[in-house]
Amino acid sequence: MAQAKSAFTRILVKLSGEALMGGGDYGIDPAVIKRIAGELQDIREMGVQVAVVIGGGNIFRGAGLARAGMDRVAADHMGMLATVMNALAMQDALEALGVQTRVMSAIRINEVCEDYIRRRAVRHLEKGRIAIFAAGTGNPFFTTDTAAALRAIEISADVLLKATKVNGVYSDDPVRNPKAQHYPRLTFDKVLNDKLNVMDATAIVMCRDNHLPLRVFNLNNSGDLTRIVRGEEVGTLVTLE
Binding site for ligand UDP (CB under 6 A): 16-18, 55-57, 61-63, 75-76, 79-80, 82-83, 136-137, 139-140, 142-145, 147
Minimum distance, C-beta of residue 183 to ligand UDP, in the bound complex (Å): 22
Q: Which is nearer to ligand UDP, 16 or 49 (CB)?
A: 16
CA-based nearest residue to 197, from 172, 162, 166: 172
Minimum distance, C-beta of residue 80 to ligand UDP, in the bound complex (Å): 5
Q: Which is nearer to ligand UDP, 7 or 70 (CB)?
A: 70
- Are the C-beta atoms of residues 6 and 40 closer than 8 Å to each other? no
- Are the C-beta atoms of residues 113 and 105 closer than 8 Å to each other? yes
Minimum distance, C-beta of residue 161 to ligand UDP, in the bound complex (Å): 14
Q: Which is nearer to ligand UDP, 82 or 155 (CB)?
A: 82
- Are the C-beta atoms of residues 3 and 46 closer than 8 Å to each other? yes
Q: Which residue is nearest to ligand UDP (CB)?
A: 55
Minimum distance, C-beta of residue 46 to ligand UDP, in the bound complex (Å): 25
Q: Which is nearer to ligand UDP, 140 or 213 (CB)?
A: 140
Minimum distance, C-beta of residue 70 to ligand UDP, in the bound complex (Å): 10
The three-class DSSP label of residue 86 is: helix
Minimum distance, C-beta of residue 112 to ligand UDP, in the bound complex (Å): 16
Residues 6+ away with beta carbon under 8 Å from 129: 100, 101, 102
Q: Which is nearer to ligand UDP, 143 or 226 (CB)?
A: 143
**b/e burial code for range 158-182 (CB count within 10 A of at least 16 → b):** bbbbbbbebbbbbeeebeeeeeeee
Q: Which is nearer to ligand UDP, 136 or 168 (CB)?
A: 136
Residue 13 neighbours by CB distance under 10 Å: 28
Angstrom distances, CA of residue 1 to CA of 43, 45, 47, 95:
11, 9, 13, 18
